[in-house]
A and B are shown apart, each in its own frame.
Chain A
Amino acid sequence: MFRRAPAGPTVRAMSSRARARELEPQSVISSEMAAIESDYRRAGVEETQPRLDYPPYRGSLLRHPTRDPCDVDPEAIERWAPCFGARDVDPLEADLTVGHAGEPVGERVVVTGRVVDGDGRPVRGQLVEIWQANAAGRYVHRRDQHPAPLDPHFTGAGRCLTDGDGWYRFQTIKPGPYPWRNHCNAWRPAHIHFSVFGAAFTQRLVTQMYFPGDPLFAFDPIYQSITDRRARDRLVATYDHGLTSHEWALGYRWDIVLTGGQPTYVEAGELV
């Protein structure tokens, strides 16, 4: 009597190959990305933010506004940001490697940097939130169907408040690259999602931090939706041996600049 083989990796890989036949090849996406970057260089006008209209990122096709935004002067409420304090965030939330029964699998890292405004002034006491995949590239999310293992010792969400000089600091594990279905054989470079509040509502930022030297950068339409290479580089952390600790964790430095809206600067607690 034979038992039916469980739907193991081979079966799953086969069905994944069948699904992949419906998707466009990387070469199509890559040539679209190359054409856009080449046009951008020829135009010679610097862009510092991602393009909302970036067709190689297929999920954006019906989700990007087609009209230019309206220029507006911020009103009082927009010149301020929500206040967060010790009540909101437990210091332990900055360490993604604790809070479970054991140590998560993966390369332990410290990610730290300063949040500043366009003049280099620190953004103090503001909320930084992160979320990420585990070391195998799997998110703790019901919609993530990537057949990589979940880690019972890793959730992958953290928070902290910036200190008086704008510093944030997280301890976590390095996330793995992650496959998605934008096209056939699409893989996201390893990244940590960041959500940051500034000194004003107008400075609100959600972005992704990447690790230096990732071989997937050139293939990824989300990263490449920023058409300017220097601007893309601003999302890549720097390996910092001074932040690396003996027999413990590798250190990465990543600073964040928030601009826009000419916020009103006052001392904490003072109202204008």
Chain B
Amino acid sequence: MTLTATPGQTVGPFFHYGLAYDGDCVLVPPGSPGSVLLRGQVLDGAGVAVRDALVEIWQTRPDGSVPRDVGSLRRDGWSFTGFGRACTGQDGRYVFSTLVPGAGKPGRPAFFAVTVFARGLSNRLFTRAYLPHDDAALAGDPLLSALPPRRRATLLASRDERGFVFDIHLQGANETVFLRYPGQ
């Protein structure tokens, strides 16, 4: 490594007209075969909804492979690009219509890779929203198994009748576990 990374800065309050686009949070049409909702709320340290946050997801296909299709910005309705972006609403909530990600390797738990941006947040945060249903795989995950139960729980999406729910706490007792990758 010879060059130093460019610093991040907050996304600010006015990102909507620069970053939001039609279909940004619709990776697959709602109600189409295999579609689920991934939704949640972004909250600050006082438990107040963050209405100017941006959440991005990047995920495997249901078979665990990495999508290589273009077209996230102008969706054609049938290609699965694996990338989505959602602005939170006045209530701090975001929602994606997508497919259930598959495990990248057999025996490993599947997750949505998640990036969070917000006014007041000086740099992006990385996290993972793990699917809750495979206990054996979750138990064997090196990241999860290194965490105390309460911290570990912040990385687990919960199942509901329409898909998955994953709340993001930027701060506080239930502060979400955020990630740092090598070289950062």
The reply to whether chain A is a binding partner of chain B is yes
Query: Using a Cβ cutoff of 8 Å, how many contacts connect chains A and B?
Result: 258
CB distance from B8 to the nearest CB of A (A): 5
- Does A257 lie at the interface of the complex (its beta carbon under 8 Å from any beta carbon of B)? yes
- Chain B residues near A77 (CB, 8 Å)? 58-60, 66, 82, 101, 104, 113
With beta carbons under 8 angstroms apart, the residue of A52, A223, A232 that contacts B121 is A52
Q: Could you say which of B7, B18, B69, B119 contacts A232, with CB atoms under 8 Å apart?
A: B7
If A71-B180, A76-B105, A84-B70 touch, whether A141 touches B4 (CB-CB below 8 Å) is no
B42-50, B132-140, B158-166: which lies at the interface: B42-50
Main secondary structure on A side of the interface with B: loop
B-side contacts of A88, CB under 8 Å: 70-74
Q: Does any Cβ of B come within 8 Å of A139's Cβ?
A: yes
Q: Which residues of B contact A195 (CB under 8 A)?
A: 11, 18-19
Chain A nearest CB, measured from B88 CB (Å): 12
B182 x A261 contact (CB < 8 A): yes
B70–A63 CB distance below 8 A: no
A83 to B184 alpha-carbon distance, docked (Å): 23
Number of chain B interface residues as a range: 35 or more
By a CB distance below 8 angstroms, the chain A residues around B124 are 204-206
B158 to chain A, nearest CB (A): 20
Task: Indicate whether A119 sits within 8 Å of B179 (C-beta atoms), given known contacts A64-B121, A193-B12.
Answer: no
Q: How far is the CB of B100 from chain A (nearest CB, A)?
A: 14
B1-35 vs A, Cβ < 8 Å mask (1 yes, 0 no)? 11111111111111111110000000000000000
Is B153's beta carbon under 8 Å from chain A? Answer: no
A sample of 10 more A-B contacts (CB under 8 A), given A59-B119, A143-B14, A204-B126, is: A57-B10, A73-B181, A75-B104, A75-B105, A83-B70, A120-B3, A157-B17, A208-B9, A259-B4, A271-B68
Q: List 7 A-B contacts (CB under 8 A).
A: A57-B10, A71-B181, A72-B179, A82-B82, A118-B4, A141-B13, A204-B115
- For the complex of A and B, the 9 pairs showing the least CB-CB separation, nearest first, are A131-B18, A85-B70, A59-B120, A82-B83, A63-B120, A88-B73, A69-B180, A50-B122, A62-B45
